[in-house]
Structure 1
């Protein structure tokens, strides 16, 4: 089956998700990651990892060809991890940044994280910043770099679709993704530069390590990069999504986009060299507005309703969604996102309805499991 898929040029897909651990009854983050690890079932233990802070935890399921299989695996992971968190006296919450007041969490007791804390200081405040990373297979690093060039204009609208962190310290920040604004303080965070070759990619990586801005390739926090571990392009600019449905839609679109752009690379079509300041503006707009406002049409360089750009992306990648068997599921999930709005929009609606950030966190804890 895998050999047949490879012969057809189908791409594998993997997802990493970072979560916040919050108190069992209150809305603030809690340092219970080791207690949660103690409660993990054997069926998910190998897919769960530490993150930077003691109030965070991460999952990384095995790569899949079938989107339905990936959805089932990620849903099982979320449910199993949520159960372990509850046994440890916490709740698992899929949110980009801690919405409630609380003390700053300490880093996980590991040499790498202590070293990061010593060099970079308090760049991850509160309970931690939680993202979603999508891995899509590519045939080789040189091709991967060319795909990264083609990806640059599309990533702001994917970021807008993941917006899921409007609140911080109990108040509305005015941004759909406050995590994005906090995350940009790290020295290597930002749009991927336009690169001529894999050799230039490696040279720039080495230069950044030599500068002290990062320790190693794992700290290359561009919005898309070549994975330091897997033969994949890693798209990593988004908030963790509130529901498995949202996560699977973004994963399907990411694979459809990479597959579409691979064809452009194979056909020798040059990537548009979008000016870096314009990309920065589009990513800022994505963080500020989510999908409920405007973003920048990179073809015309004019603001347009973000949902129209999202629809444009969906239509652009639909042939590859269909070729990978994802079109039916992605169409349903796209309709749900259009109906319900981003995680940020849903959090704001929940606050307006129930009147407290605590109620928002209750809702997030339920939706993390996939409860609608």
Structure 2
């Protein structure tokens, strides 16, 4: 829910190589649901899972808001293959620990199966959040993906945030992975997105005049009571409070590492492309906030399988066409960072197989049960090889 652990100090050799070639580093955080070993319902197993974690991955794993959730955070990396190796290690390690604790690790936006409301983790900050904001997120937990991309300084980072605003609904649509909630199809590709928007600071990043303006808004929001601290600034993109990165809150956690690596690479390509525009003095388009809200709603409702809004024309277009437009836009930076070949393959796999949400619905259409869907999600979560 908030990113207390956003990575580690960048190793000197990676930092030197990134600076020498003017490349951006990246990292990823993923939140997961813990479900019963035999049934599809979420379980309060996080403490038991922590007790089973091997020492070598403990530094990359942390609690989340509910006792039925767990989170991992990669160290910053320059090479996408290295990042995938780190996430493979974390996913497989936590999945194995969950199985030893009598549970399963599931990468899904929110609980697909019915079950009782579960307790929050026993931390003072989480109790303060519950006392202040009440029952804004009942159920089993909401699990998302956050990508961190390096920036040179906060002032430049704020300009990048302005340029990011029109592109984020497409990335949210591509991450859609929570059509089911409490045993039923919600009619949304990402029901987690709709639940998440009940928190007072969730939404598109506003158009920012400067880093000072950014800090003033944070101070004003804290004073208003809408958030306890900067960690509760839940805009879809923000500056990290602890590291020199832009954090893009992509949407649902994705079921496969293929999907996660695709979106991570696109996020870096996008930030790198926008950094060049900032350096060239190109002003960010000041897209109207209601239009952005509509585009994010459309992303949650349709995923990539329906429509979204082309911010240049303000007209609905097929979401996959906008996804391809994003890919073409960032292609030079994908190539410069060494990600083009991998990203091209992963785009093809996503196009062929669909988003996590579309795949869940396809299973149900073939006669599968919610329990079958959860079984498949658990399998995909711990898989280390491409599934498609």
Alignment TM-score, normalising by the size of structure 1: 0.99
Separation in structure 1 between the aligned mates of residue 219 and residue 167 of structure 2, nearest angstrom = 27
**Partner secondary structure for residue 18 of structure 1:** strand
Q: Write out aligned runs for 1:134-149 (5 A).
A: 134-149=147-162
2:281 is matched with which residue: 268, 287, 310? 268
Q: Write out aligned runs for 1:295-314 (5 A).
A: 295-314=308-327
What is the aligned partner in structure 2 of residue 75 from structure 1? 88
2:134 is matched with which residue: 101, 104, 121? 121
What is the aligned partner in structure 2 of residue 250 from structure 1? 263
Q: Write out aligned runs for 1:217-228 (5 A).
A: 217-228=230-241
Separation in structure 2 between the aligned mates of residue 139 and residue 343 of structure 1, nearest angstrom = 34
What is the aligned partner in structure 2 of residue 96 from structure 1? 109
What is the aligned partner in structure 2 of residue 57 from structure 1? 70
Q: Identify if the C-alpha distance between structure 1 residues 332 and 237 changes in structure 2 by more than 3 Å, giving closer, same or farther.
A: closer
Across the two proteins, how many residue pairs are aligned to each other? Answer: 372
**Partner secondary structure for residue 225 of structure 1:** strand
Runs of at least 5 residues in structure 1 that lack an aligned partner in the other structure? none
1:366 is matched with which residue: 379, 382, 387? 379
**Partner secondary structure for residue 142 of structure 1:** helix
Separation in structure 2 between the aligned mates of residue 105 and residue 229 of structure 1, nearest angstrom = 30
2:192 matched to 1:179?
yes
Q: Deviations over 1:158-187 (max 9, x none)?
A: 000000000011110000000000000000
Separation in structure 2 between the aligned mates of residue 340 and residue 257 of structure 1, nearest angstrom = 24
Separation in structure 2 between the aligned mates of residue 258 and residue 197 of structure 1, nearest angstrom = 18
- Report the CA distance between 1:72 and its aligned residue: 1.1
Decide which moves more: 41-50 or 146-155: 41-50
Alignment TM-score, normalising by the size of structure 2: 0.95
Kept in 2: contact 1:244–1:369 (CA 8 A): no
Decide which moves more: 352-361 or 194-203: 352-361
2:87 matched to 1:35?
no
Separation in structure 2 between the aligned mates of residue 56 and residue 105 of structure 1, nearest angstrom = 10
What is the aligned partner in structure 2 of residue 317 from structure 1? 330
Q: Deviations over 1:11-61 (max 9, x none)?
A: 000000000000000000000100000000112111000000000000001
**Partner secondary structure for residue 152 of structure 1:** helix
What is the aligned partner in structure 1 of residue 212 from structure 2? 199
**Partner secondary structure for residue 346 of structure 2:** helix
- Report the CA distance between 1:105 and its aligned residue: 1.1
CA RMSD of aligned residues (A): 0.8
